[in-house]
Structure 1
Amino acid sequence: MARHIVIGKGPVGAATARLLDEQGHEVVVLSRSGGDGSVALDVTDTASLRQATKGAEVIYNCAGPAYHRWPTDWPPIANALLDAAESSGAVLVTTGNLYGYGPVDGPLTEDLPLAGTGTKARVRIGMWRDASARHEAGRIRMTEARASDFFGPGVTGTGHLAQRLMPALLAGRAVRMIGNPDAPHSFTYVPDIARALVRLGADERAWGRAWHVPTAPPLSTREAVRQLCRLAGLPPAKVGRIPWWPLHLAGLVNPMLGELREVQYQFDRPFVLDSQAYTATFGEAPTPIDEALGATVEWWRARLGR
C-alpha cells in the first residue's frame, strides 16, 4: 500500500483523496486549518512538510490560496512542495490551470508558449518553470494537470457552474452571468481532475511535462444552462449578462472582484481547452457531459434542499 499526500481539502483535494482511498492507498490530507479529515499543517513550514511527506510515493498539490493573494501565498507554498518532493523522492503532481497561456486565438494545447503577462499568469508560469528546472536537473520528478473552470459535486465557489448559477437556476429564476453567454467555454469536471492527478502520479510517461485534463467539448453559458434545466426537469431559464463596469468599480474596494480584470478575456471570447494529447496517451476520456451535469444538479439539489 503506497503512501500518498494530498495538499488541500477543497473540491479537487477531497475528490483526489477519495479516489486514492477507494484504490486502497494510505492517504494523508494536509491543510492549513485541519478538519474534514485533514491534518492541520502550514505547508510553507518546510521542515514540518518534509517530516509529513517522508516515505510518500506521490504528493498532490491541490492547494487553493485566496484568489487575490496568489502573488504572496503561492511562491512559498510551491517552493516548500518542491523541497518536500526533493527530500522525500515523491513524485510531485500539481493541479494547474490555463492562465499561463494568456489570451489565445483557437483551442489551448500543451505546446503553446506560456505567454501570459498578468499577475496571476506570471505566478503560475514561475511555479512551472521552477518545477521544470528541478526536474531537468534530476532533483525531482514532477508533472502538472491543467484544467479549465471546474465544476461538479462539492464545488461551491463563484465559477460559471457553481454559486453564480446553480441556486438561481434551481429556484426557477433568471440567471445573470458575466461575460458573453454565447462564447464557447470549456468546463472541467472535478472527478476527471482527480482521476488525471492520480494517473499522472503513477505513470512515468507523464513526468516532466504538463497535461490537459480530459474535458468535454465546450459549451456556452447559455447552452450549459439549457442542459442543466433539462436535466433538472425545469423549463429553460433566461440568461442575462452582468456588465463589466460595475464589477470593475466594485473591484476598487473588493480585491476578489478586482482580480477579474486580468481574466476578462476568458469570459468574453471563446475559451476552449484541447485535451486530446492526454486521451491519446492514457486512453481516458472525459466523463460524458450529461452524466457530469446531472451529478452536479443532484448535489446542488441536496445541498439546497430542493
Structure 2
Amino acid sequence: MGKMALWGAAGAIGQSIADALRAQGRPYRVVGRSLGGLKAAFGNDPLAEAVTWNPEDAASVRAAARGVDTLVYLVGVPYHDFGLHPVLMQRTLDAAIAEGVERIVLIGTVYPYGRPQTALVGEGHPREPHTFKGQMRKRQEDLVLAADAAGRIRGTVLRLPDFYGPRADKSFLYSAFQTALAGGTANLVGPIDVPHEFVFVPDVGPVVLSLADEPGAYGRFWNLAGAGATTQRALVERIFAEAGRAPRFRVASKLMLRLLGLRDPFLRELVEMHYLLTNPVLLDDTALRGLLGTVRKTSYDEGIRLTLRAMAAKERMPGAA
C-alpha cells in the first residue's frame, strides 16, 4: 500500500496510528493547520512528512491530499461548533477524490447511535441520534459511505468509545492520572458507578492500519469496543492505587455541569452528551474481530501502569511542564 495521510494527526489517536506506521517502517504524511504543532509531535520521525491545510482554501486541501493512497480522517472541531463536521468532511472528500486518493477511513464515535436500545450495541443498531452532535456525526458518516456507494472513493468508518492512555489529555480519566502522580483531587463527571468502557489509545493504531489494508473493510462501518465494561470509580481507584496514593476525587453532576457551563463553553456543551454517562453505549465488535482476526486489547490494569509510567517519564524530561 502507498503513502497514508493522517488528517488532523496531532491528537492522541493520530499519534497512535503514527506509532503503528513507524513500527512497520511505512512513510506517512501528517496533516494539520499548524506546522509548528506537527513538527512538535512528529518532527523527530524521518518517516513523517508534515503538510498544512487550510479548509477554507480548496487548493490547499487538494495539495495536502496529493500523492497519497489512503486518508485517515481524525479532524476535530470545537465542541460548540459541531456543524463543521459534515462541512469539513465534504471539502476533504472533494479534494481527495479530485486527487485520486483511493481510500478514506473516518475515525468516528458512538454519537450517531443515539440512546442505546440494547445492552450491547452492534453495527446493526439503529442510528437515531437525538442530539445535534450525534446528527452531525451521522451526516459525516453518511457522506463517506455515499461516496463509497457511488464508486468515487473507497470509504469506511471505525467507531471508538471513550479512550485513555499516554497523550490522551481529553480523556475523562486524564485528571485522575494527573492527580494520582502529582497529588490533589481529581475532577470527574458523574455518575461514576454506571458501566462504561474505554479503549487504550496505543491499541487503536494497529487496528486502524489493519482495517485500512483490508479490502473487505470498505462500504460500511465498524465498532471497536474497549477492554470490557467497568466503571469510572473502579478505574480511578485503580489509578490512585497504582500510583501509591489514596483516591481523592470530586464528581460533577449534570446540574453542576449546567452551572459551571455558565462560564465554561465546553462544559456547557457537555450537558447535551451527558446521557452517555447515564445510558452508556457499550460496543459489540464481533464483526471487526471476525474481519481482522485477533484485535489486541490492553487490560485496564496494564493500560493504567503504562499510562502512569509514560506520564511520569514525561514529567521528568528537562523542560517538561
Q: TM-score, normalised by structure 2?
A: 0.87
- The count of residues paired between Structure 1 and Structure 2 equals 302
Unaligned runs of 5+ in 2: 44-49
Aligned 8 A contact 1:214 1:279 in 2 = no
What aligned pairs does 1:35-50 form with structure 2 within 5 A after superposition?
A: 35=36, 36=39, 37=43, 38-50=50-62
Aligned 8 A contact 1:98 1:148 in 2 = yes
2:116 paired with 1:115:
no
Partner of 1:21: 22
State the Cα RMSD in Å. 2.0
Partner of 2:77: 65
Which residue among 225, 244, 253 is the counterpart of 1:243? 253
Q: Could you list the per-position Cα deviations for residues 21-74 of structure 1 after superposition, in whole angstroms to 9, with x for gaps in the alignment?
A: 321222110101122243222144332222332231210101111211221x32
Which residue among 176, 190, 193 is the counterpart of 2:201? 190
Aligned 8 A contact 2:55 2:61 in 1 = yes
**Alpha-carbon distance in 1 for matches of 2:260, 2:86:** 28
**Alpha-carbon distance in 1 for matches of 2:95, 2:58:** 7
Which residue among 38, 41, 56 is the counterpart of 2:68? 56
Aligned 8 A contact 2:86 2:143 in 1 = no
The structural deviation recorded for 1:279 is 1.6
Which residue among 74, 88, 94 is the counterpart of 2:85? 74
What aligned pairs does 1:20-169 form with structure 2 within 5 A after superposition?
A: 20-35=21-36, 36=39, 37=43, 38-71=50-83, 73-87=84-98, 88-105=100-117, 106-157=119-170, 159-162=171-174, 164-169=175-180
The structural deviation recorded for 1:250 is 2.7
Aligned 8 A contact 2:185 2:248 in 1 = yes
- Partner of 2:4, secondary structure, is strand
Partner of 2:181: 170
Partner of 1:5: 5
2:210 paired with 1:209:
no
The structural deviation recorded for 1:240 is 3.9
Aligned 8 A contact 1:172 1:237 in 2 = no
In structure 1, give the amino acid aligned to 2:266.
Answer: M
In structure 1, give the amino acid aligned to 2:65.
Answer: T
**Alpha-carbon distance in 2 for matches of 1:195, 1:270:** 26
1:198–1:26 distance in 2 versus 1, CA, 3 Å: same
The structural deviation recorded for 1:305 is 4.5
**Alpha-carbon distance in 1 for matches of 2:110, 2:74:** 15
In structure 1, give the amino acid aligned to 2:233.
Answer: R
In structure 1, give the amino acid aligned to 2:69.
Answer: E
The structural deviation recorded for 1:183 is 0.7
The structural deviation recorded for 1:89 is 3.0
2:274 paired with 1:273:
no
1:171–1:52 distance in 2 versus 1, CA, 3 Å: closer
Unaligned runs of 5+ in 1: none
Partner of 1:302: 313
In structure 2, give the amino acid aligned to 1:3.
Answer: K
